[in-house]
């Protein structure tokens, strides 16, 4: 029985890996996660606003991480403009990153900037970045696109190596007494997985490349749901921050036991079984299910 998967061109022993998180700035933590069983390492994001002050430090961290572990090391950038990224992307590759995850989060507040213009800008930027790189490029998306399926299709046509679903947003709060806007960090829980599962299930039949689930995977059942919906890779962050690197190994062991108990020879046999096109009830992912759930509430 095997949990093997293929993500961004890498043949991995299983899909579990840490997502981009701040604790991975420490090489010791990177090694600890490999020891816990991580199939790859996604380094913390370098934000576009940090390019001037922390670029060299980030390149050094990539080099140290490559020396520290034998699994694939995936760098992460967070930003929305090309700027100096074309040259910097080449430096990331030269530093030893074996893939690049680009987080294109941007909150559009201009009422005159259309959704089409926003998506075209992202796509054009990715095409230019891909042309500068010899390593795979994954895109970490927001769920808040007008037509996410169409946008994913356009990125597929552009040759993007994979999609990561989804970015988590830290919402600002308001302090009425101090009359200020305050930031807060809240870790995910399993309830956040449902949005990811829905879109993985929708996109897996139309997006021809790798899909990663990021956000809400805390338990064995969470990981199995992501695979059933079509995920090739599963990124864990909050669960590892809460319970330590060992949680990854615990989930991995639980997945193996589940597959053995249910008579599966491989995780690949499970992947996509409940995707939109193979699910016994495709309407469960669409609008019809909304009406059914409301009806059930009224009956109760």
Q: Are 167 and 188 in contact (CB under 8 A)?
A: no
- Looking up residue 45, the CATH number of its domain turns out to be 3.20.20.70
Separation of alpha carbons 94 and 62, rounded Å: 10
pLDDT tens for residues 220-261?
Answer: 999 999 999 999 999 999 999 999 999 999 999 999 999 999
Is pLDDT of 291 > 70?
A: no
What's the pLDDT band for 35 if we cut at 50, 70, 90?
A: very high
Residue 155's pLDDT is: 95
* Residue at token pair 């694939």: 72
Token pair belonging to 141? 């998306």
- Is residue 266 predicted with pLDDT exceeding 60? yes
pLDDT at 93: 95
Check whether 105 has a pLDDT greater than 80.
no
Residue 266's beta-bridge partner residues? 2
pLDDT digits (tens, 9 = 90+) for 136-154: 999 999 998 889 999 999 9
Whether 109 and 78 have beta carbons less than 8 Å apart is answered as no
Give the pLDDT mean for 116-120. Answer: 91
Q: What is the pLDDT of residue 1?
A: 87
pLDDT at position 292 over 70: no
d(CA 224, CA 221): 5
Chain centroid to CA 39: 14
Q: What percent of the chain has pLDDT over 90?
A: 67
206-217 mean pLDDT: 96
Q: Is the pLDDT of residue 39 over 90?
A: yes
Whose CA is closest to 190, among 221, 228, 157?
Answer: 221
291, exposed or middle or buried, with CB in 10 Å at 0-12, 13-18, 19+?
exposed
| CB-CB contact of 254 with 261 (8 Å) | no
Residue 125 has pLDDT above 60, yes or no: yes
pLDDT of residue 62: 96
Q: Which residue has the tokens 């700027």?
A: 83
Q: How would you write 131-184 as a 3-class SS string?
A: HHCCCCEEEEECCCCCCHHHHHHHHHHCCCCEEEECCCCCCCEEECCCCEEECC
Query: In total, how many domains does the chain have?
Result: 1
pLDDT single digits (tens) 52-96: 778 899 999 999 999 999 999 999 988 767 666 777 888 899 999
In the predicted structure, residue 124 carries a pLDDT above the cut 70: yes
C-alpha to C-alpha distances, 66 to 18, 30, 38, 215, nearest whole angstrom: 15, 10, 14, 25
73-78 vs 41-47, strand pairing mode: parallel
Range of the domain at 210: 5-299
């Amino acid at each position: 029985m095997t949990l093997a998967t293929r993500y961004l061109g890498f043949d991995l022993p299983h899909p579990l890996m840490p997502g981009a998180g701040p604790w991975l700035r420490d090489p010791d933590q990177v090694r600890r996660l490999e020891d816990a069983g991580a199939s790859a390492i996604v380094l913390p994001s370098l934000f576009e606003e940090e390019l001037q002050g922390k670029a060299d430090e980030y390149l050094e961290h990539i080099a140290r991480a490559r020396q520290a572990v034998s699994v694939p090391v995936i760098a992460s950038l967070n930003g929305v403009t090309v700027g100096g990224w074309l040259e910097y992307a080449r430096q990331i590759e030269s530093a030893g990153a074996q893939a690049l995850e680009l987080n294109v989060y941007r909150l559009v507040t201009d009422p005159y900037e259309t959704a089409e213009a926003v998506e075209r800008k992202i796509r054009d930027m990715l095409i230019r970045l891909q042309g500068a790189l010899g390593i795979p490029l994954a895109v970490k998306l927001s769920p808040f696109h007008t037509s996410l399926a169409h946008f994913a299709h356009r990125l597929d046509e552009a040759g993007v190596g994979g999609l990561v679903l989804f970015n988590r947003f830290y919402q600002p709060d308001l302090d009425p007494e101090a009359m200020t806007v305050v930031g807060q960090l809240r870790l995910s829980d399993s309830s956040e997985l449902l949005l990811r599962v829905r879109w993985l299930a929708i996109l897996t039949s139309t997006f021809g490349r790798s899909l990663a689930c990021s956000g809400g995977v805390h338990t064995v059942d969470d990981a199995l749901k992501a695979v059933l919906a079509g995920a090739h890779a599963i990124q864990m962050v909050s669960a590892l921050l809460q319970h330590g690197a060992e949680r990854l190994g615990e989930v991995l062991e639980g997945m193996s036991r589940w597959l053995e108990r249910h008579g599966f020879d491989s995780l690949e046999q499970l992947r996509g079984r409940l995707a939109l096109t193979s699910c016994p009830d495709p309407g469960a992912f669409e609008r019809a299910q909304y009406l059914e759930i409301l009806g059930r509430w009224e009956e109760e």
